[in-house]
Amino acid sequence: MTKKGMRNKAKNARKLHRVSSRPISKKIIASKAKPKKIVVQKLAPSQKAAAKCVKKLIVEPIIANSLLSLAGENATSVLGQMEGAMSDEEIARACKFKVSEVRAVLNKLHAQGIAVYERTRDRDTGWYYYKWSANVGAIERMLDENVKSEKMATEQRLKYENACNMYSCDKCMQEKYPFETALDYLFKCPQCGSPLEYKQPGASEANLPKKPGR
């Protein structure tokens, strides 16, 4: 081999050494994450029937008022969107509420047995996940108890009114007054000044609260 050939060989060897000695780039190319698909939950016939029953119950004034006092103004909206077993995030999306607001309502409803959950544990992360659903039986029991309570209160009021001479204003019809109170008002309505008229006792089954649908 000639001297020129030996020089070229050595030159090429140095180039190869420089290339091989360069540090390997550690830059990681981030792959584009695929958007998660929203899985639409298919409800069993029993779940559809339960959701329909809940929506029918929560529009009853006696139930709506009870839910308002128990869990706040968002309670009926949360229950109305619960179809089958749902996470608090799914309910929040359906209601267009904050997750924290939905959780506060669910915790209050759970304390009364109206909302129940199933808990599962992720084996990889160790995190617990909760799926919430409405307890139709608890809502129906609440309805029965409230109707019974209102019925007892109405019976006591009618019993008192039947035992006393009651007077009321035909224009206002806001309140009935026993004889002693009407006398203090000189038998004039304290609201509009119209005469207070004597009312005949009239307790009947029609005046008593009844369970919706009966």
- Residue 21's pLDDT is what? 47
Assigned token pair, 181: 């109170």
205-209 average pLDDT score: 51
- Report the pLDDT averaged over residues 1-24: 54
The predicted-structure confidence for 70-92, as pLDDT tens digits, reads as follows 999 999 999 998 888 899 999 99
- Kind of pairing between the strands at 176-178 and 166-169: antiparallel
pLDDT at 209 over 50: yes
| Residues constituting the chain | 214
Residue closest to 137 by CA, chosen among 54, 203, 24, 202: 54
For the chain, domains (ranges, CATH) are 45-141 (1.10.10.10), 164-201 (no CATH)
* Mean pLDDT within 143-159: 86
Q: Does residue 37 register a pLDDT over 60?
A: no
Q: How confident is the model at residue 211 (pLDDT cuts 50, 70, 90)?
A: low
**More reliable by pLDDT, 14 or 136:** 136
Residue with the larger pLDDT of the pair 127 and 159 = 127
Distance CA 41, CA 94 (A): 13
**Pairing between strand 115-121 and 128-134?**
antiparallel
**Mean pLDDT along residues 94-101:** 92
Angle of helix 45-58 versus helix 136-163 axis, rounded to 10: 30
Instruction: Give the pLDDT band of residue 28 (cuts 50, 70, 90).
Output: very low
Residue 190 pLDDT greater than 80, yes or no: yes
Q: Round to whole Å and give the CA distance between 35 and 19.
A: 40
Give the pLDDT band (50/70/90) at residue 108. Answer: very high
Average pLDDT over residues 38-59: 76
pLDDT of 143 higher than 50: yes
